[in-house]
Amino acid sequence: MKQPRRTNVAPISSSHRAYEILRRAFVVCEVAPGSQVTEASLVERYGLTRAAVRAALGRLRQQRWIEASPRRGYVVRPLTLKDIRDLFAVRTLLEPAAAEMAARNATHPELLRISDLARLATNHDELGDEAISVFLEANTRFHVAVAGASGNTRIAQLLEELLAEMERMLHFGLSSTRRGIEMDQEHGALVEALLRRDPAAAADAAREQVVAAEKMVEVVLLRHPNLENVNLAQEGL
């Protein structure tokens, strides 16, 4: 009797699947910042088991995506101007350093992947939610790939989580204002610097991209200095 072929691919656990689904729902603002959620509501909404949702929420709480709300379940972490400013401050510190290291350490397959992701992360003229979502996910994957190619695991992990939070902010900002994607999304200068193995140019290109992104966000969101610690989702911005 023919034996089934073995595979080395481990099955995805139900709790990990629940974590990925819920985390993505928070990132794309499918569940809005500041929303109240419960295990029961998430089980019903996403067709997951209660045990898987409970485990996923525990992990998301550790990562500060949610906060416990006594007798009311959980609250999705609000989005404030202070959060946004803090995110850009850390990006400014980490991304140029990661790009500089990537120019030195990236393997040829990593450079090919970064180049491919740069082509995917192109500006979309459409204002629809789907086009924005596709673009923002590709943009995040591009920056995460550059961080991963740095060779520094800790910086890569920090930036991966940071960029997920940044994607949430951009999802909220672009969808709530119904503006087009105004920031310059061309990654050509950074890709060219990486391909040339030019650390200084790579760091400069990464820094310029963060500055361009921050300027776009200032136009869209940061024009309300009196809302420093207020959940932007409640202000209808």
At 234, the pLDDT band (50, 70, 90 cuts) reads low
Predicted confidence at residue 128, as pLDDT, reads 61
pLDDT higher than threshold 90 for residue 20: yes
Predicted confidence at residue 231, as pLDDT, reads 60
Q: What is the pLDDT of residues 56-78, one digit of tens each?
A: 999 999 999 999 988 889 999 98
Q: What is the pLDDT of residues 175-212, one digit of tens each?
A: 555 444 444 456 889 999 999 999 999 999 999 999 88
Predicted confidence at residue 102, as pLDDT, reads 98
The tokens describing 216, both together, are 């776009």
Share the mean pLDDT of the chain. 83
What mean pLDDT is predicted for residues 202-228? 76
Predicted confidence at residue 138, as pLDDT, reads 86
Predicted confidence at residue 32, as pLDDT, reads 87
203 close to 100: Cβ distance less than 8 angstroms: yes
Q: What is the pLDDT of residues 122-151, one digit of tens each?
A: 655 555 667 777 888 888 999 999 999 999
Predicted confidence at residue 147, as pLDDT, reads 96
60 close to 37: Cβ distance less than 8 angstroms: no
Contacts with 67 (C-beta within 8 Å, 6 or more apart), sequence order: 61, 74, 75, 77
* Eight-state DSSP code of residue 31: S
The share of the chain scoring above pLDDT 90, in percent, equals: 51
Domains and their CATH numbers in the chain: 14-76 (1.10.10.10), 81-234 (1.20.120.530)
Instruction: Say how far apart CA 110 and CA 143 lie, in whole Å.
Output: 12
24 close to 136: Cβ distance less than 8 angstroms: no
Predicted confidence at residue 9, as pLDDT, reads 40
pLDDT higher than threshold 90 for residue 40: yes
pLDDT higher than threshold 60 for residue 224: no
Predicted confidence at residue 156, as pLDDT, reads 93
Sheet of 73-76, strand order: 36-37, 73-76, 66-69
Beta bridge partners of 68: 74
At 22, the pLDDT band (50, 70, 90 cuts) reads very high
Predicted confidence at residue 226, as pLDDT, reads 44
Q: What is the pLDDT of residues 103-118, one digit of tens each?
A: 999 999 999 999 999 8
